[in-house]
């Protein structure tokens, strides 16, 4: 019984470190705000280069709390972000390329038994994974289902543990040594699987940063 | 044991809270050196606005001005869109994602995915005949025929087919009950009515975006 208030306190302490979002928010640029305009222009300049090639790409719009899959500047699919946090916004200014999409176990057809085989589906996609990029960037994607209290609790515990690891690493890392930027994103379970499905090796990723 | 836990419990909770609060003191927060925004002179703001609008126009010019095909392989839907308007929403079947070993070639496999990315309609065919590739025989445990005529199978691809490169097509199917599922070897299957609409609306050069 004494454990429950302590657990509740623990959960409350995690709230200030996340950004809870309105999933209906849309990208907006205040053209009278020079800093916001500068950031939007920076991203737009990169997007024009990427969109000019026949490829799909991802735009992570942190101020709008949205992940957009795009092609030729057209929005193909949209994923709302529940929470995000980052180690250093300064480093998130390049066009990053995904090294490898999340791995999934594929089923093999065995002609000696049957040509039929259970096809891969969204349910086979991972719900939490880490993505590595060139130039160096790590995006850690976590998820939880809205209706699952246990899922939410497990998510907060994972988030807390990642923060502990980062804090511990920061203690033992020298102040002037380069650390690759990290971005943590939390989405719904369905959206995490959707994103894992949509990503391809070498896919370009752009990030729009909040200014204020 | 209970006494030990009761003794250690407050200290453990304090340690947990300390570790939890410490990372929020600046190690994972946004750039600490961000100063409050300085007022910008009107000329600089106009310059920034000009650049922003110019880039927005450049991006808009990259968007297809004609109808384009959009394929959602996760949800097995094919759309034809023109700007913001959805002209067609069709149930489809896309690649199963399964793999088949190539006999006699170590570490080599067929992967039955529908390719992702941007493509274009390269060909439009009527009454297409399926020329069965090697995997179609191998997956059924059959020998690959040497005679090309033995590969021909008419009537299984529907009335039309639209090719978009490297042997992939949008075509019809006899197995309409499997529409909505990931069951193909990479091609995109539609029912007869939707296939006819796609054939009518798409031209050679129509963009196809697959995700």
Kindly state whether A105 is in contact with chain B, defined as any CB-CB distance less than 8 angstroms: no
Residue B167 predicted with pLDDT over 60 = yes
- The residue among B106 and A28 whose pLDDT is bigger is B106
Kindly state whether B108 is in contact with chain A, defined as any CB-CB distance less than 8 angstroms: no
- Beta carbons within 10 angstroms of residue A149's beta carbon: 10
- The structural domains of chain B, with segments of one domain joined by +, span 68-210
The CA distance from A141 to B52, in Å, is 31
The pLDDT of residue B206: 97
**Token pair for A199:** 């990503």
**DSSP structural state of residue A87:** S
- Beta carbons within 10 angstroms of residue B169's beta carbon: 21
The pLDDT of residue B27: 26
| Partner-chain contact A47 B52, CB within 8 Å | no
Give the closest of B22, B70, B99 to A76, CB-based: B70
Mean pLDDT, rounded, for A91-103:
93
Dihedral Cα A116, A122, A126, A129, nearest 10 deg:
130
Kindly state whether A44 is in contact with chain B, defined as any CB-CB distance less than 8 angstroms: yes
Kindly state whether B86 is in contact with chain A, defined as any CB-CB distance less than 8 angstroms: no
Q: Which CATH superfamily is domain B68-210 in?
A: L,D-transpeptidase catalytic domain-like (2.40.440.10)
| Partner-chain contact A119 B183, CB within 8 Å | yes
Instruction: Write out chain A residues lying below 8 Å of B55, CB-based.
Output: 41, 44-45, 48
Instruction: Write out chain B residues lying below 8 Å of A166, CB-based.
Output: 23, 27-28
Residue B188 pLDDT grade (very low, low, confident, very high; cuts 50, 70, 90): very high
**DSSP structural state of residue A142:** E
- The structural domains of chain A, with segments of one domain joined by +, span 7-100+117-208
Residue B14 predicted with pLDDT over 90 = no
The pLDDT of residue A14: 47
Residue A19 predicted with pLDDT over 50 = no
Exposure string of B110-127, with b = 16+ CB inside 10 Å and e = fewer, is bebbbebbbbbbbebeee
- pTM metric for this prediction: 0.81
Kindly state whether A146 is in contact with chain B, defined as any CB-CB distance less than 8 angstroms: no
**Token pair for B12:** 């453990």
State the complex-level ipTM: 0.80
Give the closest of B20, B34, B117 to A13, CB-based: B20
Under a CB-based contact definition with an 8 Å cutoff, are residues A57 and A51 in contact?
yes
Average pLDDT of chain B to the nearest whole number: 86
**Token pair for A113:** 């038994």
Segment A37-87, tens digit of pLDDT? 999 999 999 999 999 999 999 999 999 999 999 999 999 999 999 999 998
| Partner-chain contact B23 A164, CB within 8 Å | yes
CB-defined contacts A:B, below 8 A: 162
Residue B186 predicted with pLDDT over 80 = yes
What H or E segment, with its residue span, contains residue B6?
Answer: helix B2-21
Tokens 């000019």 appear where? Answer: A52
The CA distance from B96 to A169, in Å, is 42
Kindly state whether A162 is in contact with chain B, defined as any CB-CB distance less than 8 angstroms: no
**Token pair for B170:** 């949008």
């Amino acid at each position: 019984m004494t454990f429950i208030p302590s657990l509740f306190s623990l959960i409350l302490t995690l709230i200030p470190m996340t950004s809870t979002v309105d999933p209906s928010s849309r990208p907006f640029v205040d053209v009278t705000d020079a800093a916001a305009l500068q950031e939007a222009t920076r991203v737009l300049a990169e997007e024009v280069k990427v969109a000019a090639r026949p490829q799909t790409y991802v735009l992570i719009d942190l101020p709008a709390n949205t992940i957009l899959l795009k092609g030729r500047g057209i929005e193909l699919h949209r994923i709302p972000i529940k929470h995000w946090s980052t180690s250093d916004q300064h480093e998130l200014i390049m066009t990053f390329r995904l090294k490898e999409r999340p791995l999934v176990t594929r089923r093999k057809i065995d002609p000696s038994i049957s040509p039929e085989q259970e096809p891969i589906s969204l349910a086979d996609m991972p719900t939490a994974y880490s993505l590595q990029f060139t130039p160096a960037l790590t995006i850690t994607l976590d998820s939880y289902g809205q209706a699952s209290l246990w899922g939410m609790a497990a998510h907060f515990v994972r988030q807390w543990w990642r923060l502990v690891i980062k804090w511990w690493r920061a203690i033992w890392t020298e102040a002037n040594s380069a650390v690759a930027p990290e971005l943590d994103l939390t989405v719904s379970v369905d959206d995490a699987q959707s994103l894992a499905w949509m990503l391809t090796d070498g896919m370009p990723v752009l990030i729009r940063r909040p200014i204020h | 044991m209970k006494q030990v836990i009761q003794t250690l419990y407050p200290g453990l909770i304090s340690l947990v809270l300390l570790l939890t609060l410490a990372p929020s003191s600046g190690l994972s927060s946004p750039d600490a050196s961000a100063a409050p925004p300085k007022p910008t002179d009107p000329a600089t703001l106009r310059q920034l606005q000009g650049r922003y609008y110019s880039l927005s126009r450049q991006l808009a010019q990259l968007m297809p001005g004609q109808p384009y095909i959009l394929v959602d392989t996760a949800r097995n839907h094919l759309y034809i869109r023109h700007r913001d308007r959805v002209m067609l929403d069709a149930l489809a079947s896309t690649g199963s994602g399964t793999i088949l070993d190539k006999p006699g070639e170590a570490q080599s496999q067929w992967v039955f995915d529908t390719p992702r990315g941007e493509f274009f309609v390269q060909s439009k065919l009527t009454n297409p005949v399926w020329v069965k590739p090697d995997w179609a025989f191998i997956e059924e445990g059959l020998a690959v025929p040497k005679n090309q005529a033995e590969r021909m199978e008419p009537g299984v691809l529907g009335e039309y087919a639209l090719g978009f490169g490297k042997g992939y097509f949008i075509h019809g199917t006899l197995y309409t009950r499997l529409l909505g599922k990931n069951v193909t070897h990479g091609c995109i299957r539609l029912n007869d009515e939707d296939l006819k609409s796609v054939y009518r609306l798409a031209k050679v050069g129509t963009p196809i975006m697959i995700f």
